[in-house]
């Protein structure tokens, strides 16, 4: 007779694809003059974290870390009406503002290790600025998958795509100007 131990949810916790996670810790850092933020997630080891480096548009406005706060529905302190129907949003971008917030992250395999893609997607929510419904979430997931295919998977000829098959509507195929902060 033999006895074996089987961990619950074995394999699914780190499986390639989309995972809805809660941010439990966030820390800013600087690498050779470039600011970044590291996010850590509930029920995952600190070795599996998201690192996002700041990126600035032609207008000088940072949008990559700002998009994380936007998609996590974090830190909104004031919303003002701007020109042309735009909203100007003041965000408390302290790392603490992300604690307890949820985002969708994509795990991919890099050799035998799982990594977190630097493009995140929102969860469905509504705030004073905007609403993200299930179609919007699918759209942003598709944008992240396109980023993965173009910039991450193409670096390694041995990479395989393990994206979860999502239904794509016409609006999900619209091109996005990566320099737009929100």
87 located within any domain: yes
pLDDT more than 70, % of the chain: 81
Q: Quote the pLDDT of residue 156.
A: 60
The HSE-up count of residue 45 (CA atoms within 13 Å, CB side) is: 7
Mean pLDDT of the residues in the chain: 85
Q: Examine residue 33 and state whether it is found in any structural domain, yes or no.
A: yes
What's the pLDDT band for 85 if we cut at 50, 70, 90?
Answer: confident
Strand order in the sheet with 50-53: 50-53, 34-41, 17-31, 102-110, 113-116
In a domain, 7, yes or no: no
152-163 confidence digits (pLDDT tens): 998 765 444 444
Q: Is residue 9 part of a domain?
A: no
CA distance 147 to 116: 13
Residue 140 has pLDDT above 90, yes or no: yes
What pLDDT score was predicted for residue 131? 97
Range of the domain at 142: 17-173
Q: Is residue 130 part of a domain?
A: yes
Residue at 166 is within a domain: yes
Q: In this model, does residue 41 exceed pLDDT 90?
A: yes
Report the domain count for the chain: 1
- Residue 8 in domain: no
């Amino acid at each position: 007779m033999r006895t074996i131990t089987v961990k619950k949810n074995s394999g699914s916790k780190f499986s390639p694809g989309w995972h809805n996670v809660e941010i439990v810790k966030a820390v800013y850092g600087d690498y050779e003059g470039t600011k970044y933020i590291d996010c850590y997630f509930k029920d995952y080891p600190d070795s599996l974290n998201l690192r996002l480096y700041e990126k600035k548009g032609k207008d000088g406005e940072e949008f990559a870390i700002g998009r994380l706060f936007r998609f996590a529905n974090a830190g909104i302190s004031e919303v003002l009406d701007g020109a042309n129907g735009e909203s100007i949003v003041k965000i408390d971008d302290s790392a603490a503002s992300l604690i307890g917030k949820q985002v969708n992250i994509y795990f991919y395999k890099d050799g035998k290790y799982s990594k977190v893609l630097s493009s995140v997607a929102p969860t469905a929510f509504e705030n004073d600025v905007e609403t993200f419904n299930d179609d919007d979430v699918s759209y942003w997931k598709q944008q992240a998958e396109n980023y993965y295919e173009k910039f991450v998977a193409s670096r390694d000829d041995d990479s395989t795509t393990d994206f979860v098959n999502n239904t794509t509507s016409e609006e999900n195929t619209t091109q996005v100007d990566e320099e737009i902060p929100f």
